[in-house]
Structure formats: structure tokens, C-alpha cells
Amino acid sequence: MQPTPHILLVLCVLATLPLLGCGGGGSGSDTPAVTESITLNSDPDRDGRVSISGIVDFSAAVFNAYTGDRGADVAPSYVCRQLYAFDLGDVPAGARIVRATLRLYQARVVGNPYSDRGDVIVDHVDYVGDPGLDSYDGQDLSRNIGTISTTVDEGYKTLDVTAHVAWNLTAGDSWSQFRLRFWRSGLMITDGENDYANFIDGENDDWIASGPPELVVVYEP
């Protein structure tokens, strides 16, 4: 007797199922992918602060890098943001990015920036080697990609930037650059007080109990 079409279909389906080993165990074919990790530090010559007027300061003066305003020291509307640039040259060509984490150390907070200005958010910006006026609120690839800090607590603050680092690598970019800012407009706060947060930059990674800016990249070779 010839097998019916239904029997042939069942036989074909069974032939495609994976073979099981003795004792009910799997075949071990689902081996996890091998991943490697690399920690990139920001370039000290390309991280620092940029003011609302376009003044850039990447010097190594202690606590010179800050996000917020120094209304008492400079002017009520003198607001700054911080830039961090990471050289992607050590990430192997063709690697698949599994995870990328931005890690920035908040060393101190002056005044009341979190109550006056809100949380610290991050922009993914187009890297330029010579930052200027556009660096304060331009060069956008993606604005407000996430919140990196909500409190005055000192220590490392982290943000998942996987999609953005992967985008840079796919686009053939040599750098990933990020900008820190408080989400409320600087022009809204003119109380004449200092309200800012110091996030460590590359020149000042030796401050007491602090750590350097890091981009931790996990990838499949």
C-alpha cells in the first residue's frame, strides 16, 4: 500500500526535527556566542565644556568641566554643557555590537541644578575635531537619547548607548561623541546662583574617589 499524502507530510516534518541525545538531554548545538569587551576612555583633547555663547574650554583645570550654570561667578545666563568623544579605532572591523554603555563620573554638585534644571540628559552628536558655537546645541544625530543622572549622588552614572555606537560604526565613523545637558532651557533660569554638576573629563581622572569617562563596548568578533 502506498503511503497517503498526510503520512508523507508527517514523515517530512519528523525528518526536520533535531535529534535528541540519550536521557532527554539536548544536542548542545545552541552554544552561546563568544563576546569580548573593550573599555574606551574619552580623548582628553576632545572633551570638556562648551558655553551657550560658543566658548569651548578643554583645559585641564580642576573642576573646570561642568554642566549647568555659574550665575554667581560669571553671569546668570552663562550655561555650559559637556562633550565627550571616544575613539572607536580599537573596536575590530566587522564586529557586531552587543552592548555599549556610557559611564561618566559625577564628582560634585554645586547649588540646586537638579531641582532648578531637571535631570541630566544626553545627546548623540556628530563628531567634529574643532568644536564651536554649533557644539552647544547643534551637530545633532539624536537628541535626548536618555537620562544619565537624576540625583546629586557622586559616582558613576551610566546610559545604554548601544544603538548609537553601532550606528557610528555602520556609518564608518571613527568617533562616537556625546553631549550632556540639563533638560530645562538655560535661559529659563536667571537667579544669579551657581547651579551645576561636575562630571569628570579625561584630564581630571585623578580627582579623589573619581574615575575617568568610559565607553564600555561588548561585541562579537
Q: Which pLDDT score, from 0 to 100, does residue 186 have?
A: 56
Read off the C-alpha cell for 122: 544626553
Residue 80's closest CA among 130, 143, 135, 7?
A: 135
Asked if the structure places residue 4 within a domain, the reply is: no
Report pLDDT for 185: 65
Instruction: Measure the CA angle with vertex 155, ends 54 and 151; round to 5°.
Output: 75
Domain containing 72 equals 36-220
Residue 171 in domain:
yes
Whether 31 is in a domain gets the answer no
146 is a domain residue: yes
Residue 206 lies in a domain: yes
Total count of domains within the chain: 1
pLDDT at res. 102: 98
Q: Which positions of the chain have pLDDT values less than 70?
A: 1-29, 60-62, 185-190, 205-209
Task: Give domain status of residue 7, yes or no.
Answer: no
CATH code of residue 148: 2.60.120
What is the predicted pLDDT for the residue at 21? 39
pLDDT at position 144 is 97
DSSP run (H or E) holding 36: strand 36-41
Asked whether residue 147 is domain-assigned, the answer is yes
Residue 45 falls within a domain, yes or no? yes
**Continuous segment of H or E residues that includes residue 50:** strand 48-51
**pLDDT reported for residue 62:** 65
Running DSSP on this structure, what letter comes out for residue 156?
Answer: E
Whether 54 contacts 20, CB under 8 Å: no
The tally of CA atoms less than 13 A away on the side-chain side of residue 140 is: 9
DSSP codes of every residue in the chain: -PPPHHHHHHHHHHHHSPPP-GGG---S--PPPP-EEEEEEPPGGG-EEEETT--EE----TT---EEEETTTT-TT-EEEEEEEEE-TTSPTTPEEEEEEEEEEEEEEESSHHHHH--EEEEEE---SS--HHHHH--EEEEEEEEEE-S---EEEEEE-HHHHHHHHHTT-SEEEEEEEESS-GGG--SSSEEEEEE--GGGTTSTT----EEEEEEE-
